[in-house]
Amino acid sequence: MWPLALCLVALVVIVWTTNWIYKWSNPICNGKLPPGSMGLPVLGETIQFFKSQTSFDIPPFIKDRMKRYGPVFKTNLVCHPVVVSTDPEFSHFIFQEEGKSVVFWYMDSFMKLIGQDKLTTSTGAMHKSLRNMVMDHYSPNKQKEKILFEIEDVARRNLAIWSKQDSVEVKEVVTTMSFGLSSMKTMSYDPSMHAENLKDRFTTFLKGLISFPLDIPGTVFNKCLKVMVNERFYSTKKHGDFLDVLVEEMKKEEPLYNVESAAYFLFAILFASFETVSLALTLAINFISEHPSVLKELTDEHEAILKNRENVDSSLTWNEYKSMTFTSHVIDETLRLANIAPFVLRRAIKEIHVDGYTIPAGWTIMVCPPALHLNPEKYEDALTFNPWRWKGQGSNTASKSFMAFGGGMRQCAGAEFAKLQLSVVLHFLVTKYRWTKIKGGEIVRNPGIVFPNGLHIKVTENS
């Protein structure tokens, strides 16, 4: 009797497991899904996706599946069904569908951190209003000389500090510099006024963004931001920063957000305005160090600016910044090759039918910039750092083949602000100083970029 019962139980388990595995491997779809594999039950293909690499090439996970399935394929990552796009036209289409058939999305840990149901997923009039607020405060075109002076002041002070040290680890010091500028413009943050160092807390959180969900609302960082918003809300003093703009909106009869959502929004602004800039500047310095011809042309361009002045030590002007053509090429090439944002995520809110395939509602769509930026049909010798490839193409922020700042209605509102910071720092670095690379510079992508051995340089002031 017992052997028969055990056999029946085993049979039920086998049938149920087989059925479950079949459903996992063949998701329900009212049409034809893109080709690909859903991987192992629960795990999907997550382990393969997060495998480290030590080059700037297209991640092996993506490259292998492009060869096997084509430019658009399905997979499962971190328990989410995903359609990956490496196709310029399809990726462009997805960005244009923002608020129609797709919405902003990210990994669970990040969405919990910034508020999945709050500002980053806002659409329509609310998103337009928030974007305009950011553009009004951070757009250099609206505050040219003021923003330029602020960035120049920060660059001068920090470079002087670097030059007095035996060596500096570039990512660390540019992070400190960039966070100082961003936190000042965002909320007039003064570290001497707070027991907790906001930069250190912030940097710690960034390390866990692509991992498992975190209990962010209870952290010191989130509490610190809420305290700042509360204090400012009940204060009559104006600081001229972005938090003033938020507080003014919060005091309206029908405000867009409360203290909690304002704190989330402050985090999102800090994340977008400082971490990517500091990484881009570190990579630019590393690339320039390895390419003497690039350093020479960059130096020539900036020394020409000084020679055309009546007073060589006068402040940078907006016209001088706009004349930095080769500098802009160096920045674009750094962003193209580095792919600081290795993927951009959206979530389908209704079925999407394109090129004979159907993407079910609720699925994640992953646009893969490295596949676009390293496409040999668009970029000759795609893995070579070559700023001259941008000659005659003007200043780039977004196109079907260049998505360093995203695309569509959620294209980075601070793109010009970021490029301005990079340009100003490079101006003073190549005209007032020289540097020697001591060690490091190797990268590991997993999938974001880290420097396992740092990038150590010796900065010396020109005599």
- Cβ–Cβ < 8 Å for 64, 377: no
What is 153-215 written as a DSSP string? HHHHHHHHHHHTSS-EEHHHHHHHHHHHHHHHHHH---GGG-SS-HHHHHHHHHTTTTSS---
Distance set, CA 198 to CA 158, 267, 285, 354 (Å): 19, 11, 26, 45
CB 325 within 8 A of CB 424: no
Q: What angle do CA 395, 397, 402 make, to 5 degrees?
A: 110
Point out which residues pair with 81 in neighbouring strands: 76
State the Cα torsion 377-383-384-390 to the nearest 10°: 50
Strands 455-461 and 433-440: antiparallel
Is the peptide bond between 447 and the residue preceding it cis, with omega within 30 degrees of 0? yes
Burial status of residue 429 (CB atoms within 10 A of its CB: 0-12, 13-18, 19 or more): buried
Is 29 annotated as ligand-binding? no
* Cα–Cα separations (whole angstroms), residue 309 to 148, 316, 319, 462: 17, 10, 12, 19
Q: Is 340 exposed, middle or buried (CB count within 10 Å of its CB: 0-12, 13-18, 19+)?
A: middle
Identify whether the C-beta of residue 317 lies closer than 8 Å to the C-beta of residue 423: no
DSSP letter string, 46-110: HHHHT--BSSSSPPHHHHHHHHHH-SEEEEEETTEEEEEE--HHHHHHHHHTBTTTEEE---HHH
Helical spans, DSSP H, in 339-462: 369-373, 415-432
Residues 6+ away with beta carbon under 8 Å from 50: 210, 446, 447
Closest CA to 58 of 327, 287, 344, 342: 342
Cα dihedral 82/131/111/52 (nearest 10): 60
Enumerate the known binding-site residues for heme: 412
Enumerate the known binding-site residues: 412
